[in-house]
Structure formats: structure tokens, C-alpha cells
């Protein structure tokens, strides 16, 4: 069985929304940072809108950090830091730390060079908090437009009931094509991003849908 999805925010040009495909992963509940621009708080890196961003508010310095709280201990294997709309404002070198309590971090679980879209592959790791630390210096601000924390196939923890309960305003329609492909269309008619559960085999993922946007989930027979 293959599940895929396409998301389009109708307030923006369709071509710009090709990047807004389903990020099948864990939903970051909260975000924080070592510093922030007044106009670009950490919450804007997890709001589901690639047009907004978090920025450090000063030229990049080694030791700057950005942190997400998954709400509970979860299992993940990839982190994606998307700075596409602020090309050049990415950390040139990074370290990633994980913690269960947000206080004890231990040794980094990943290190490497950054890029406009930084994809950090990890062994399956379980933690509640994730901190990305910049280890480079630049006159440019560090900016992240969207953070995605992705779960290993078949091993993610189901979203909590409180997350599933925030999906008010989401309208759904289902259809089956002649070849057996099942389509599920979700439209968020509300003024705020909505969060709901998406099933993929035995795994449940949390999906954040921006306001006035639609997502098409496609399940193809094996």
C-alpha cells in the first residue's frame, strides 16, 4: 500500500505550493530559540506556512540554537530544516541534540554541513525535545521557514487525543477510482491551521493543514 498526499494553499500561487506536499511525520507542538527577531518568533517555523520564518535577529554565531518540543516522547529518524525562501540564511554547520526533559542533552546525535534545505538523517531516536545548534559564523541571520520531524515507517507513536481534537473546520470527501486507488480530500475552511490524524498502514501521523488549504491523500493498492 502506498500513501501520498498533495497540499495546496489557495491564497498563494499553485506553483509555489509544490513544496507543500505531505510531510508525514511528527508535529512539533512548541518551538524556542537562543534568540529571535521581533517579527520572526520560533513559532513561525512550525506554523505550516513556508512564507513565514523564524530568524535569529543577528548574524550567525556558533552556539545559536533552535529547539522543538514534540509534546511527548516520540520516535523520529529525519529532521528537515527548510530555508528556501531565505536562501543563504542556513547554518553552515550544525549539531543535533535530543532530550527527554529539555535540560539534559548529552552528546550530539548528528553533525554535518547545512544547505538551503537541510535533511538530517538519523538512526531511529526517541525523545521529546530536539535542539539544532549552529556551529558556523556569518553576517547573515539564521532563518528557518519550516521544520519537519519525520518518523520511521511503521514505528511512529500515534498522535495524542488533544492534537486530534484541534481539527475543527476540516471538511473531508472520499472517493475510489476504477483501479482501486482511494482518494481522501481534506479542506481547512477555518482561519487558523488545523491538525488531524492521518493513518498510513499501522501508523498514525499528525498532519498540519494551513488555513484555506486542501490536501489530497492517495492510497494505492499494493
Domain ranges for the chain, please list them. Answer: 2-22+160-220, 25-150
**CA 110 to each of CA 44, 121, 122, 145: distance values in angstroms, whole numbers, following the listed order:** 24, 8, 7, 21
Dihedral, CA atoms, 187, 189, 194, 198, nearest 10 degrees?
-20
What is d(CA 141, CA 143) in angstroms, rounded to the nearest whole number? Answer: 6
Fold category of 25-150 in CATH: Jelly Rolls (2.60.120)
pLDDT value for 67: 97
Give the pLDDT means over successive 10-residue stretches in the chain (222 positions): 38 33 56 96 88 95 96 88 91 96 95 92 92 96 92 42 44 72 74 75 71 74 68
- Superfamily of the domain at 2-22+160-220: Golgi alpha-mannosidase II (2.60.40.1180)
**CA 96 to each of CA 27, 105, 130, 180: distance values in angstroms, whole numbers, following the listed order:** 18, 10, 7, 42
Q: Which residue in 103, 202, 209, 106 sits closest to 157, CA to CA?
A: 202
**CA 164 to each of CA 134, 179, 195, 201, 218: distance values in angstroms, whole numbers, following the listed order:** 33, 31, 6, 18, 20
Amino acid at each position: 500500500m502506498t500513501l501520498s498526499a498533495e497540499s495546496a494553499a489557495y491564497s498563494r500561487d499553485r506553483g509555489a505550493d509544490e513544496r507543500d506536499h505531505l510531510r508525514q511525520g511528527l508535529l512539533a507542538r512548541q518551538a524556542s530559540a537562543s534568540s529571535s527577531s521581533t517579527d520572526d518568533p520560533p513559532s513561525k517555523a512550525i506554523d505550516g506556512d513556508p512564507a513565514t520564518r523564524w530568524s535569529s535577529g543577528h548574524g550567525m554565531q556558533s552556539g545559536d540554537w533552535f529547539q522543538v518540543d514534540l509534546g511527548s516522547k516520540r520516535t523520529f529518524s529525519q529532521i528537515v530544516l527548510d530555508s528556501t525562501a531565505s536562501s543563504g540564511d542556513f547554518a553552515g554547520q550544525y549539531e543535533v541534540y535530543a532530550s527527554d526533559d529539555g535540560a539534559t542533552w548529552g552528546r550530539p546525535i548528528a553533525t554535518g554541513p547545512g544547505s538551503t534545505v537541510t535533511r538530517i538523517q538519523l538512526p531511529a531516536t526517541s525523545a521529546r525535545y530536539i535542539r539544532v545548534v549552529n556551529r558556523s559564523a556569518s553576517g547573515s541571520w539564521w532563518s528557518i521557514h519550516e521544520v519537519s520531524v519525520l518518523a520511521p515507517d511503521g514505528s511512529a507513536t500515534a498522535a495524542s487525543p488533544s492534537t486530534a481534537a484541534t481539527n475543527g473546520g476540516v471538511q473531508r470527501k472520499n472517493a475510489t477510482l476504477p483501479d482501486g486507488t482511494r482518494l481522501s480530500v481534506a479542506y481547512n475552511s477555518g482561519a487558523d491551521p488545523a491538525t488531524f490524524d492521518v493513518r498510513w498502514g499501522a501508523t498514525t501521523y499528525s498532519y498540519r493543514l494551513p488555513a484555506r488549504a486542501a490536501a489530497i491523500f492517495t492510497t494505492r493498492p499494493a
